[in-house]
Structure 1
Amino acid sequence: MKLKGHHHVSSLTANAERNLAFYRNILGMRLVKKTVNQDNTSNYHLFYADSKGSPGTEVTFFEIPLLAQKREGTNRIYEIGLLVPSNEALQFWSERFNKYQVKHEEIRERNGVLVLPFQDPDGHRMSLVVDQDASPVLENGTDEVSGEHAIIGLGPATLQVRYAEPTGQVLTDVLGFTQTGQYTNGDYTVLVFAIGENGLSSEIHVEENKDLPKAREGRGSVHHIAFRVETEEELRQWVDHIEKEGFTTSGFVDRYYFKSLYFRESNGILYELATDGPGFDIDEKLEDLGKELSLPPFLEPKRKEIEAKLKPLRT
């Protein structure tokens, strides 16, 4: 049992159409699955990823119309990193953000690498992070975003918590991370954890901050982060392992495109473990990913009812 790094992150948006315009048109990510929240089929669940919908590249959003703005605070997933292959790519994005009036900060160094922090229209905090060990994925990108500059996958995720020790213990003692370093963010210490040789694509940064109130979830919040598991058999072993560690879990959950396990640690962070397969091409051809509304088999009999509740999404 060994995790393989980040699988996906899931966040909250109040407007699926605006969200699609930003992640597809501005960031150049591919919409690889247009489906619904399996726990509330009245709302969209959108998946963006690389050109093939690969695990480790996925950013997903639950749409909740009229959702209130999040309240900044502690005990939350604060920021999500997206990897780019070079310093030149980061400069390209800085200029592109200026062109399209995307709220962003200046390029700076963080934990020994260059980053470009920015926000999406919901106030979701993200950073583009240079991974000098990665190669461009030429199949990624769009007419405006070439493969040399395109986003290649998930990078470091930053957690802000009231107490770093219990979160660190879950990462190391339960999930198999190793603490690889630390750095300072103003007055606060940030601990860095990673899995094996997966580097930036598996990093979790944990900032202890006792000065903030507890965060309130809303639009722009990260709902959970998922880590990669090789097989369904291994995921079932993780269910047993995590429950023996004393955590209440969701048990084994079939999401059709992957199998999952959810649990929450004492600082309130929600983790998911998800299998690499079957993948998004289980019900669509690779070239057709994201073009039509996809439903898992157990929801297919309710398609007309579900579609009637959804606002058409221009794709």
Structure 2
Amino acid sequence: MIEHTLLGMNHVTAMASDPQAIFDFMSKTLGLHLIKKTVNQDALDTYHFYFTDDQGTAGTDMTFFTFPNQPKGKKGTNMISRASFRVPSDAALDYWLKRFAEKGVANEGISNQFGTKIINFHDQDDQQYQLVSDENDHGVAGGTPWKHNDVPEEFAITGLGPVTVTIFNLGHMQYVLTEIMGYKQIAEDGNWSLYEVGEGGHGAQVILEHREDLPIAEEGFGNIHHAAFSTENRETLGTWIDRIKQYRLPQSGYVDRFYFKSEYFRAAPQILFELATTGPGFLQDETYDEAGIHLELPPFLESKREEIEKQLIPVKTDWRGR
């Protein structure tokens, strides 16, 4: 029996080739708020950008590592293959088609998946994304759009939608989702299957794509590094750490990221999942007005600031200058 049900998505972390380009795409094209400009705590020469809703609400975070000199990733099976973003309505998708045309964003037009209208699109690194309409969605609430973006509020992104995992061994991944993580399968369409947890809805869903005909994916920029799922606090995280240990999946144990607490575990070959708390949040060490403009470091890295800054390429993230 699961003592504390997972709440849904927390964040998705991908890898980008160029920190300036990914800031411009996420902030200026998609209208997301760079709530935190910091570094990968395990690779201090690497930026870690957190793009969120207005206030940095858990479940709205699309984050990026920019590892220096990393090769381009290769698509295939055994990868977290697509992140998605929620928009309020079907009409919002019409707006985004026009915006993508104006900004030169490659996309596949409006289509339908599991009864929901979507737009599949990708960025300059061939990172795969999806816009998903919340027109008929029920369940986990979205966030609040960034108030300084130039997308009309009625069309703006409100948070993360389902994450897609492309997998070779479908049975194993189904077992991890349903028996270990508490997800339930709610739909199936060919080699696609849809799962949700807790209150359900787009903010608490995972899509599995079963593919044995593809080569094994290779990590690199343009691919997703890991997907994180929310638990309420350190206490509930502790129960999840104990649960993962019981199933003997490779795992990190407790990790303090300052902005949240977490654990990482290998859900399947090359599939890295994280369980992360919803707080304490991103505005504990800087004000809302300054968020994302300057390099912020957690207290345990502040003594290394000079060394860290020398290794990083300067990036212009002051949205006020547009």
Q: Which residue of 2 aligns with 1:303?
A: 305
Q: Which residue of 2 aligns with 1:37?
A: 40
Residue ranges of structure 2 left out of the alignment (5+ in a row): 318-322
Q: Cα 1:141–1:90, aligned 2, differ >3 Å: closer, same or farther?
A: farther
| Structure 1 residue 144, shift from structure 2 partner | 2.5
| Structure 1 residue 287, shift from structure 2 partner | 2.7
Counterpart selection for 1:23 from 7, 10, 26: 26
**SS of alignment partner, residue 97 of structure 2:** helix
Q: Cα 1:17–1:314, aligned 2, differ >3 Å: closer, same or farther?
A: same
Q: Which residue of 2 aligns with 1:58?
A: 61
Q: Determine if the alignment matches structure 1 residue 235 to structure 2 residue 226.
A: no
Contact residue 89 and residue 149 of structure 1 kept, 8 A: yes
Equivalent residues in 2 for 1:185-204 (5 A)? 189-204=191-206
Amino acid at match of 1:169: Y
Q: Cα 1:214–1:93, aligned 2, differ >3 Å: closer, same or farther?
A: same
Percent identity, please.
Answer: 40
| Structure 1 residue 265, shift from structure 2 partner | 2.1
Contact residue 72 and residue 215 of structure 1 kept, 8 A: yes
Q: Which residue of 2 aligns with 1:287?
A: 289
Tell me the TM-score normalized by structure 1.
0.96
**SS of alignment partner, residue 12 of structure 2:** strand
Partners of 2:153 and 2:219 lie apart in 1 by 35
Counterpart selection for 1:255 from 254, 257, 278: 257
Partners of 1:198 and 1:259 lie apart in 2 by 23
Partners of 1:6 and 1:89 lie apart in 2 by 22
Tell me the TM-score normalized by structure 2.
0.93
Amino acid at match of 1:210: E
Q: Which residue of 2 aligns with 1:211?
A: 213
Partners of 1:191 and 1:140 lie apart in 2 by 32
| Structure 1 residue 142, shift from structure 2 partner | 4.1
Partners of 2:300 and 2:177 lie apart in 1 by 34
Contact residue 258 and residue 276 of structure 1 kept, 8 A: yes
Contact residue 164 and residue 208 of structure 2 kept, 8 A: yes
Q: Cα 1:105–1:142, aligned 2, differ >3 Å: closer, same or farther?
A: farther
Contact residue 159 and residue 206 of structure 1 kept, 8 A: yes
Q: Cα 1:136–1:7, aligned 2, differ >3 Å: closer, same or farther?
A: closer
Partners of 1:201 and 1:62 lie apart in 2 by 23
Partners of 2:101 and 2:46 lie apart in 1 by 32
Count of residues paired in the alignment: 311
| Structure 1 residue 288, shift from structure 2 partner | 2.1
Counterpart selection for 1:100 from 74, 98, 103: 103
When the two chains are superposed, the root-mean-square deviation of aligned CA atoms in Å is 1.4
Contact residue 227 and residue 274 of structure 2 kept, 8 A: yes
Contact residue 32 and residue 145 of structure 2 kept, 8 A: no
Partners of 2:132 and 2:52 lie apart in 1 by 16
Partners of 2:114 and 2:22 lie apart in 1 by 30
Equivalent residues in 2 for 1:54-203 (5 A)? 54-132=57-135, 133=137, 139-140=145-146, 142-184=148-190, 189-203=191-205
